[in-house]
Amino acid sequence: MLRKIVILLLTLSPLTALAKDILVLGGTRNTGFEVVKLLKEQGHNVWSLARETSDTSRLDELGVPTVTGDLLDAERMAAIFHEHQFDTVISTFGSSFKTKNKPDFIGNRNAIDGAADGGVKHYVLITMVGIDETFDALEPRFQKIFTEQIDMKGRAEKYLRASGLNYTIYRPGGLYTGLATGNAILTQEPKTMGLIARRELARKLVAGIDDPTLTNQTYTVIDPGVKPGEWDGKSQKANIPEELDEAELD
């Protein structure tokens, strides 16, 4: 019997043997969708949270199932983690200036409570540069523009750290839509600021899923080779804003 088990384990591919059950919050668009694609490519079992009104057509094309729920509905979020057993939760969602009921704190609080009660092993949270010791990394005009987002995302970080869950927190610089470069860095130097493509942020995040040295750590993540007007280090031009706007928050 033992010999059969050993043979079975040897026949499993590395991807199959290490596959995790992962729920992505905000996986229908932007950074979250890029995370979903990479997780799927690597053989993980991935789900995306989606509201009933969300456009899930791109997820459907990938064969990625959705879990119906609203981050602002605490009861529903609690139920999700009893209906499904997830190893990891990746929170990628954000809000714009036009969003009336911003989920940046409340949505994460509801998800964190559900995850802690549901036995999730790792909660990965994307926030932003400007929180706590990184506040001075933002130019004064951005400190004013993003006052509300900095406060809400900062509260989400504190709530996660106090939850008892294992966590990793990523604070990206300015986000834009472009190619992954493979050059992103993680740093805990508080005054670091820069740009990073959503695909590159997703690549860096997914690459760290199984890295124990990142557990219970908070990092700024940027692509130091990318400047406004460039997107992949090869002088290809893109419409990268000189300043952040509401579209850069999610």
The answer as to whether 113 is a domain residue is: yes
CA 246, CA 164: separation in Å to the nearest integer?
32
Residue 67 lies in a domain: yes
Instruction: Say if residues 23 and 89 touch (Cβ distance below 8 Å).
Output: yes
CATH assignment of the domain containing 147? 3.40.50.720
Residue 2: inside a domain, yes or no?
Answer: no
Q: Is residue 58 part of a domain?
A: yes
Domain coverage including residue 71: 20-249
What is the structure's pLDDT at 250?
Answer: 36
Q: Please, what is the end-to-end C-alpha distance for the chain in angstroms?
A: 51
Give the per-residue pLDDT at 95: 80
Give the contacts of 87 (CB within 8 A, at least 6 positions apart): 20, 21, 22, 120, 121, 122
Do the domain assignments include residue 13?
A: no
The answer to whether 120 and 25 are in contact (CB under 8 A) is: no
What pLDDT tens digit does each residue of the chain (250 aa) get?
Answer: 555 444 444 444 444 448 899 999 999 999 999 999 999 999 999 999 999 999 999 999 999 999 999 999 999 999 999 999 999 999 999 886 667 788 999 999 999 999 999 999 999 999 999 999 999 999 999 999 999 999 999 999 999 999 999 999 999 999 999 889 999 999 999 999 999 999 999 999 999 999 999 999 999 999 998 876 554 433 333 433 333 333 333 3
The answer to the question of residue 138 being in a domain is yes
Helix (H) or strand (E) holding 75: helix 74-83
